[in-house]
Structure 1
Amino acid sequence: MTNRPKSIVSIGTMSNLVVPSELAYAGALQKLIQSARDLHIQIDLATFYSEEPIELHNFVDTVTYRFMIEDGEPFLAYEVSTHHGGVYREVAYTGEEIRSWSVGVNLNENREELCDRAKRVRYTLGIGIGG
């Protein structure tokens, strides 16, 4: 189990961020930028990579992320949360989605599946139900 994410105030915009194509995880970062395009949160490429959970926030919205390697495959796990809801994704460095779901409780969803999702987010990002 991971520690709770390190919280960092990050106000700005990531929609104008230019991701160098030679960056090993460029595809994953592009996917994150698409997911958080309307948020006023900034990413600093010089300090972005972290194997520990990081929460960037603007006091309203959050982007929580962590780089991981599982079964020999590196990926970026992230959750984008707003007052409207959010999304959780695990994305290979190429930009291919490994796992993805909407954040929030849907009363029509299977309770066991919701618990499995919460456990996965707690494992990858250190957040979730009871977090």
Structure 2
Amino acid sequence: MNTKQSRFAIVSLLVLNTAVLLFHIAIVTKIAPYNIAWGGSLKTDSEMYVFEAISILINLLFSFTLLIKGNFIRPLLSSKTVQVLLWIFFVIYALNTVGNLFAVTSFEKYFAILTFLFAFLIGLIIFKKKLS
């Protein structure tokens, strides 16, 4: 990975994903109310803990994938596996953008901007050879 564009995208995504992880931790610790997340569909604390645990694990996997792709840590996954994971995250964030546009709360609708940015930056990483 040699391009400045990909490096910028990876570092930007790591910073943004850290902020997202902190947001999810704020929900788990009840600093932020969970009714502003998940389309307002969570009704109980136990539902919130399950959904937030899954979300935190997925976001940690995403950060781990980015750290490998950016050569910040020793690759524990093959480059093909990392590329497949990036494609999966690209699709997830693209679909999540559409979902956020139709969210119940205005707060979550604004997250469409963030998820679009995630998809765009992942796209820069995936398609770097075509962009160079």
Same fold (TM > 0.5): no
How does the TM-score come out when normalised to structure 1?
A: 0.26
Structure ID, larger Rg: 2
- Larger relative contact order (C-alpha < 8 A, sep ≥ 6)? 2
